[in-house]
Chain A
Amino acid sequence: GQQLNQSPQSMFIQEGEDVSMNCTSSSIFNTWLWYKQDPGEGPVLLIALYKAGELTSNGRLTAQFGITRKDSFLNISASIPSDVGIYFCAGENSGGSNYKLTFGKGTLLTVNP
């Protein structure tokens, strides 16, 4: 089956630092999504990307859909303690006829105040 390789697995940073994480795949995806999971909660959608090359921001978060459609990255600027959590990338590649997402294994982010 399809796989998403998400890196890094974990990050320990100081408050105020910028963060970058990415996902790569051997398969092409039509949609890339980034989710965040707070401790003890379910994942919440942060950003959705629909076009190759698209760059989208949501506050301090910026994500890009790679030109090859096989990768995506997420940047967080000026991190704060509430950024702590697990960040998942996910891809969808059927144009809507397949109802499934493929998830990466997550990046665990720890922010030291």
Chain B
Amino acid sequence: NAGVTQTPKFQVLKTGQSMTLQCAQDMNHNSMYWYRQDPGMGLRLIYYSASEGTTDKGEVPNGYNVSRLNKREFSLRLESAAPSQTSVYFCASSKVADTQYFGPGTRLTVL
């Protein structure tokens, strides 16, 4: 069991470039989440998918789009990256809301 995996681990983008962060879980969880972590801000929810086929906005969705490709995979897309999107991005999954399992994170720098 790999748990929650994320790719890539590190990425540097120029302002205006686009990219997709990938996330997959092998725990047969229904719900998946994308968070960003910034110094002093804790974890802020970007988007979540309560179940396959549904996605909803979280606290900070502007500038992002998501796709729940199937039960296992939930991707996060930055269409036109901005320096304010420099952050560490975490994907998580859960069977029930109260026990979320996190991936190792993607460290993104936008120049």
Q: How many residues of A contact B (CB 8 A)?
A: 25
Are the CB atoms of A98 and B97 closer together than 8 Å? yes
- Across the interface, do A106 and B98 meet the contact criterion of CB distance under 8 Å? no
Selecting from B36-44, B67-75, B78-86, the interface stretch reads B36-44
B100 touches A45 (CB 8 A): yes
Count of chain B residues near A, Cβ 8 A: 26
B88-104 interface code vs A (CB 8 A; 1 in, 0 out): 00101010111111111
Most chain A CB within a 10 A radius of its CB, from B40, B98, B105: B98
> What residues of A have a CB within 8 angstroms of the CB of B58 in the complex?
100
A interface: dominant SS: loop
Cβ of B97 and Cβ of A92 under 8 Å apart? Answer: yes
A85 CB–B CB distance under 8 Å:
no
B24 at the interface (CB under 8 A from A): no
Complex-state Cα separation, A41 to B45, whole angstroms: 17
A101 to B99, CA, bound (A): 9
Q: Are A42 and B102 in contact (CB under 8 A)?
A: yes
B96 neighbours in A (Cβ, 8 Å):
96
Please determine whether B99 and A45 come into contact, CB atoms closer than 8 angstroms: yes
Asked if residues B105 and A101 are in contact (CB atoms below 8 Å), the reply is no
B50 within 8 A of A: yes
Q: Is residue B25 contacting chain A, with contact meaning CB distance below 8 A?
A: no
Do the beta carbons of A103 and B104 come within 8 Å of each other?
no
Chain A nearest CB from B52 CB (Å) reads: 13
Is there an interface contact between A88 and B97, defined as CB atoms closer than 8 Å? no
Given A42-B90, A43-B90, A94-B97, do A100 and B45 touch, yes or no (CB 8 Å)?
yes
Interface contact B98-A101, CB-CB below 8 Å: yes
Q: Which A residues are CB-close (under 8 A) to B104?
A: 41-42
